[in-house]
Amino acid sequence: MATANSATQEKNGTQAKNNAQSKAHNAVDKAAETAHKGVDGAAAAAEQGHERVEAMAQQISAQAHQIAETAREQSEKVSNAVGTYAKENPLKTVGFAFLAGALAASLLCKRK
């Protein structure tokens, strides 16, 4: 009877060990699955964030190009207007240039 009892105890011990290993494997599998889901979610969020940043950068770039184009057009208009005025009023233009130069010289010269 002691041998049968010993065999039963050994069998029960083996079953308990197998049950513990099975539970441990299941817990590890669940943890791994949860971790994979978390990593996949983080990767998807990172991809969405990257796409949003890229779209915003393209939008800002397009706006900057539009502003630069508008500034270039305005600069051309002003330049043409000044050129036309200088052609139509050469003496006034020379006078304004002389006054601007004299003012700049007086501001830059140190008076003692």
The dihedral sign for the CA sequence 54, 60, 66, 71: negative
| Side chain identity, residue 46 | A
Q: Please provide the average confidence, as pLDDT, over all residues in the chain.
A: 85
Q: Which of 22, 21, 18, 24 is nearest to 10 (CA)?
A: 18
Query: H/E/C letters for each residue in 51-102?
Result: HHHHHHHHHHHHHHHHHHHHHHHHHHHHHHHHHHHHHHCHHHHHHHHHHHHH
Structure confidence at residue 23 (pLDDT): 83
Structure confidence at residue 76 (pLDDT): 95
Structure confidence at residue 64 (pLDDT): 96
> How is residue 40 written in tokens?
């996949």
Are the beta carbons of 24 and 18 closer than 8 angstroms? no
pLDDT bracket for residue 4 (50, 70, 90): low
Q: State pLDDT tens for residues 92-106.
A: 999 999 999 999 998
Rounded to 5°, the CA angle 15-21-27 comes to 135
Q: Decide if pLDDT at 10 tops 80.
A: no
Structure confidence at residue 79 (pLDDT): 94
Average pLDDT over residues 68-77: 96
Look up the pTM and report it.
0.48
**Gyration radius (Cα) of the chain, Å:** 42
